[in-house]
Amino acid sequence: MNGSTSILPSTPMVTQALAMLRGSLERVAFVLALLGAFVAPSPATAQCLPGWVPSVGTPGLNNFFTCTQPLPGGDVLVGGIFSSAGGITANSIARYNPATGAWSAVGSGTNGSVYALARLPGGDVIVGGVFTTAGGVPANNIARYNPSTGNWSALGAGVNSFVFAMAVLPGGDVIVGGQFNNAGGSGGRNYIARYNPSTNTWSAMGSGMDNDVYCMAVLPGGDVIVGGDFSFAGGVAVSKVARYRPSTNTWTGVGSGVDNAVVTLGVLPGGDVVVGGSFQNAGTVAVRGIARLNPATNTWSALGAGLNNFVSSVVVLLDGDVIAAGYFTAAGGVPANFVARYNPGSNTWSSLGSGTNADVFYMGLLPGGDVLLSGYFTSAGGNPATNIARYNPGPTPLVVLVQPAPVATTPSGTAAFTVAVEGGGGGYRYQWQYYGMPISTLVNPTAQSPVLVLREVQLNTLGFYSCRVDSDCDVVGTRTVELSFVRPTCGPSDVAGPGQSPGSDGQLTADDIIVFLNRFFAGC
């Protein structure tokens, strides 16, 4: 065995036993497959093609929303200038459940508009806008909300005017931008300031800006791109857009900037930034309302032929495409009513069906990849929609993140194979296979779970395993991997029956053969 001389005599009994073993393995595989055929998971249904989700905009909002913030459980906080959401009273902030479409109030809300939301690493949410109370607690235009307890608290003395944008740094501090010049009770925090949630203190970001800040985006390395209507940032001459480095508290320009206000930013998977607003030129490149910035080189490029009017909001989809919305009716030369989709790979635009029948002011990405839109429209994709609509851009492909790995165990040991996936529209259904045939849950209860567990591994359990994963919109298969016995260090006594050496009793018994076969397939 394994190149050594066999110590088991070659007899008709041994030959017959090996033949019976091969037949048993084949029958086991057949039975597993037969049983699995009757219990294989049934397919689910979902909206797998891009399109507008009906009924989301009825009853909708009595005014538009301006910001969204996903929560860990899947719900989304929505802030704006509304007082009613989904038919319930909700003062400028509400909680939306994307799975059920249900709305709920966030306590008594705020007594003024909410324009920005940012979730802290610990789960609390910073709420900014123009208000003096939040949840009944005095708070100057900015407050802290605990979604678990429903409690509100002030951020020190707050700020003395509008908050339009916020961004959470990797370390947990919050950059706050807007129209103020006083933060935490101190002046000199011109239009932008840094807040430390751990100490409840504010600090200046150099000399700040000379005009309004409208949007922010954190780059993969931790720097922040800031957009607005300013000409100076930290004393540095810029044009509507600048870069801030938190580690040094310094500002730099972004090339020669753009020639009009920047109101929205989105970071692409590779680190480039999509910049939107009312400008027509970015750096030395002619663009129309939207452009692409490479932060590594400070260079600008156009997004096709751009848009024929102002861009108010952009979101980057899970697959890397971009949805842009605003006041336009054409994107890249393609008719598109107030909202359009851009593919960075092909540099092309496409419409979202019939779009909306009026301006779109803001969009937010939901946890599952859908887009929530708001504006002064009454129709989206031909469906009634009162100031709010939901668009499904189609699922990303179903991909395997974690492939099963080969496993070697000992006789009567335990083995496990694991798979992890993402994309495909969710609704994952797993089916483990043995030699390409589905395993029944009657044989193994874990056969339709992400982890296949095999206990008391014997000869008839060894072999090749794989998993098929179905989602609501796609299907994928894993690689095939082997379950084997660990190869031990073997000697003549390893093939003997209990308490005896081979042939010590002068007879070859069934116990001798069973022990021999176990050791043989274990590698002896």
- The whole-number average pLDDT for the span 312-319 is 96
Looking at the predicted structure, is the pLDDT value of residue 506 above 70? no
Look at residues 325, 326, 276 and name the one whose alpha carbon lies nearest to residue 302: 276
Q: Which residues pair with 309 in a beta bridge?
A: none
Q: What phi-psi label fits residue 135: left (phi over 0), alpha (psi between -120 and 50 degrees) or beta?
A: left
Mean pLDDT of the chain: 89
Least reliable range by pLDDT among 121-135, 341-355, 421-435, 487-501: 487-501
Look at residues 259, 289, 266 and name the one whose alpha carbon lies nearest to residue 277: 289
Are 159 and 141 in contact, with CB atoms under 8 Å apart?
Answer: yes
Tokens of 234: 């930290």
- The whole-number average pLDDT for the span 90-101 is 96
Looking at the predicted structure, is the pLDDT value of residue 390 above 90? yes
Task: Give the amino acid at 48.
Answer: C
Least reliable range by pLDDT among 26-40, 239-253, 501-515: 26-40
- The whole-number average pLDDT for the span 465-474 is 96
The distance of Cα 376 from the centroid of its chain, to the nearest Å, equals 29
Looking at the predicted structure, is the pLDDT value of residue 481 above 60? yes
Looking at the predicted structure, is the pLDDT value of residue 466 above 80? yes
Look at residues 34, 41, 43, 42 and name the one whose alpha carbon lies nearest to residue 434: 34
pLDDT band at 489; cut points 50, 70, 90 = low
pLDDT of residue 152: 97
Highest mean pLDDT among 26-40, 251-265, 489-503: 251-265
pLDDT of residue 368: 86
Task: Give the amino acid at 399.
Answer: V
* pLDDT, tens digit (0-9, with 9 covering 90-100), for 172-212: 999 999 999 999 999 999 999 999 999 999 999 999 999 99
Q: Which residues pair with 218 in a beta bridge?
A: 224
Looking at the predicted structure, is the pLDDT value of residue 384 above 60? yes
Instruction: Say which residues have a Cβ less than 8 Å from residue 191's Cβ, sequence separation at least 6.
Output: 177, 178, 179, 180, 181, 208, 209, 210, 211, 212, 213, 228, 230
Q: Which residues pair with 472 in a beta bridge?
A: none
pLDDT of residue 432: 98
Q: What is the C-alpha to C-alpha distance for residues 245 and 252, in angstroms, rounded to an integer?
A: 8
With the C-alpha atoms ordered 380, 384, 388, 394, is the resulting torsion angle positive or negative? negative
